[in-house]
Amino acid sequence: MKAYQVLARYALIAALVGLGADQPALAQGRTPAQPTSRPSAPSGELIIYEDALAEGWQNWSWNTQVDFANAQPALGRRSAAVTYRGPYSGFSLRAPAPIDAQRYSGIAFWVHGGSAGTRSLSFYVQQSDSGDESRKVQLEAPAGTWTPITISLSALGNPKVIKRLNLQDNSARQQPTFYVDNVRLVSGRLEGALSIPPTGPTKEGDYIVYSDVLAEGWENWSWDTQVDLANAQPALDRRSVAVVYRKPLAGFSLRAPAPIDAQRYTGIAFWVHGGSTGKRSLSFCIQQSDSGDISRKVYFEVPAGTWTPITIPLSLLDNPKVIKRLNLQDSSGKPQPMLYVDNIRLVSGPLKGAPSVPFITPTKASN
């Protein structure tokens, strides 16, 4: 072989070796490395959970089992499996530092309701590790499918900062495992955002105490009574209050955040559904303080299977100066099946049709 041919052959081999060294791993039979970081969120959004919890965020759930690496069902590779261990347990995520909420318009996530039934939940944020809770928004997630949830910050009372996100049991009973995915803070316009119905004083002068949700600041102070403030059916709109008296003379009681000037109102109106069978024997009164200062009681009955409007003039309740608690009490002296209450409000102006049901004389059992 001639010298120039030998040199050309060696040059060709060297070139091929050099070319191979510069080829990507796949050309040499190896799998390329996968990305080690998540693709960035759309401009202005903050991803909190998507296959994994964002860096610095912590699980601050209470009385709840959480698996952040659940495989199925999941929108991507992983979801958070949530199992509440008792009534009003909560799935809670804590930010590494307070987040400026004014940069965002809402919170979006997906919920899969699990294997059966419907999950009854409420969502709210906290501006600090302990306390500073926002208004709560109630929601439901049916089994067997992913439901997108978008909640505007205005529905939560427009918090200034966000430290914790809380998704809480709202059923007051055992719920099966459900799943959460794709949790993020959203900026810009919100499509299909959940809102809450207006409560508290209205432009017309009424004061809405309960309409799908309990007014901000009001509390459930019932005694010997099981109360579900997010009952789905029957309801005048989306939600009603389901009430089960556990003992004779038990009471469904709602407490105002501060004494209300009763002289601004003429009466109290609400609706009662008598449940499945028979009639419900009830009494209504108000209290001017947390303990004692009880008004005269008004006694009435409501039939099963239908909604009955109740309107009670304050004059029948001794014209109280202030209102601190509203009490709807069993007056039968014996066990009663579940009943339902909705659309509770203090009414200003003339009362149409008050009293709306025949009030009855109390029996010994009802005193």
- The enclosing domain of 80 has a CATH number of 2.60.120.430
Per DSSP, 45 falls in state -
State whether 356 and 214 are in the same domain: yes
Q: Which residue reads 């579940």 in tokens?
A: 338
Q: Which residue range(s) make up the domain with 57?
A: 46-186
Domain-ending residue, one of 132, 162, 186 = 186
State whether 181 and 204 are in the same domain: no
Distances (CA, A) of 118 to 65, 140, 178: 19, 7, 10
Domain-ending residue, one of 129, 160, 186 = 186
Domain-ending residue, one of 186, 219, 234 = 186
Predicted TM-score (pTM) of the model is 0.52
Residue type at 108 in one-letter notation: A
Is 10 inside a domain boundary?
A: no
Run means of pLDDT, 10 residues per run, the chain, 367 residues:
46 41 31 33 80 97 97 95 94 97 93 91 94 85 90 88 95 89 89 58 76 88 93 85 95 95 93 92 96 93 91 93 97 91 90 64 52
Q: What pLDDT does residue 353 have? A: 60
Taking a C-beta distance cutoff of 8 angstroms, is the pair 220, 83 a contact? no
Q: What pLDDT does residue 141 have? A: 87
State whether 174 and 232 are in the same domain: no
Is 288 inside a domain boundary?
A: yes
State whether 142 and 286 are in the same domain: no
**Domain total of the chain:** 2
State whether 207 and 356 are in the same domain: yes
Q: What pLDDT does residue 215 have? A: 87
Give the Cα-Cα-Cα angle 316, 202, 197 (nearest 5 degrees). Answer: 110
State whether 175 and 209 are in the same domain: no
Q: What pLDDT does residue 192 have? A: 64
Taking a C-beta distance cutoff of 8 angstroms, is the pair 124, 135 a contact? yes
| Token code pair at residue 8 | 């050309």
